[in-house]
Amino acid sequence: MTTSKRYDRIAFVASASTEAQQALAQLEKIYGNNDPAGADVVVALGGDGLMLQTLHQHMHSGKPIYGMHRGTVGFLMNEYGTHDLHTRLAAARESLIHPLLMRATDVHDKVHLHHAINEVALFRQTYQAARLKILIDERERMAELIADGVLVSTPAGSTAYNLSAQGPILPINAALLALTPISAFRPRRWRGALLPDTAFVVIEVLEDEKRPVAAVADHDEVRDVRRVEVLSDKTISMRMLFDPGHSLEERILSEQFGH
């Protein structure tokens, strides 16, 4: 979707790296720097880590986020440039991102709620593999998965940890989630599943005392979980802006062909 609005009031945020801080100083000199609460758009200077942090911070604001690459990994970022930023923002294409909501219950029956933009992942906490049961929409689909763990990924997160775990790359507008095992031992040949983004995923931990498991929603970790529920939270829509020809849709498509 192409935006038609002119973003006059820009709020800049930057990572702590020297490169990002130098970029912040350059852009502030040219465009000023508005408080995010009153800004039309938030421009994040850094890498994908800063973009995820910025999206989390502004998850409920409805403000569009435009990233410029001044960090290490920049899959979610546009190229850096100081020239005519207002025009670039006005011409940008918008992608809507829905986060995952994780509801994790630990062994003490305490419930933890966290959102994830990339993925919700479960990991073994000790040298022993995790034993997990998987239910989709309250129907048992896998009675036992023995693995280092398992993750549920959004389309936006499908090129992150999900891809490293041999999961599928999802087009950003696909109404899908990826369910991907991490180093599966049994069933050894199971490579995961594609789920509709309306799916209610429940992962139960078997032998939680002998084989403890942690659950992580992006950067929020819960130790010693016994049940984790995951669903796409359609009540939250985050707006990411990308330069024409460098949209997230195009990046994800290119990644599938090794570019």
Q: What is the pLDDT of residues 114-135, one digit of tens each?
A: 999 999 999 999 999 999 999 9
Determine, yes or no, domain membership for 5: no
* 180 plus 113 within the same structural domain: yes
Is 183 labelled a binding residue? no
Determine, yes or no, domain membership for 36: yes
* 215 plus 108 within the same structural domain: yes
Determine, yes or no, domain membership for 57: yes
pLDDT, mean over the chain: 92
Q: Give the structural domain span for 64.
A: 10-98+236-255
* 121 plus 106 within the same structural domain: yes
- At 1 the pLDDT is 52
Alpha helices in 32-117 (DSSP H): 48-57, 85-91
Alpha helices in 158-232 (DSSP H): 161-164
- At 259 the pLDDT is 56
Is 118 labelled a binding residue? yes
Strands, E, within the chain: which ranges? Answer: 10-14, 41-46, 64-69, 93-97, 100-106, 111-116, 119-124, 130-136, 139-153, 176-186, 193-196, 201-206, 213-217, 220-222, 225-232, 238-242
Number of domains in the chain: 2
Determine, yes or no, domain membership for 27: yes
- Catalytic residue annotation: 48
Determine, yes or no, domain membership for 1: no
* 85 plus 134 within the same structural domain: no
Mean pLDDT of 4-33: 93
**pTM of the prediction?**
0.86
Radius of gyration for the alpha carbons in the chain, expressed in angstroms and rounded: 20
- At 110 the pLDDT is 98
CATH number at residue 49: 3.40.50.10330
Is 174 labelled a binding residue? no
Is 198 labelled a binding residue? no
* 204 plus 119 within the same structural domain: yes
Confidence class for position 113, pLDDT limits 50, 70, 90:
very high
pLDDT in tens, 166-218: 999 888 778 999 999 999 999 988 999 999 999 999 999 999 999 999 999 99
Res 3 pLDDT > 50:
no
> Percent of the chain, pLDDT > 70?
95
Q: Tokens in use for 146? A: 């023995």
Determine, yes or no, domain membership for 2: no
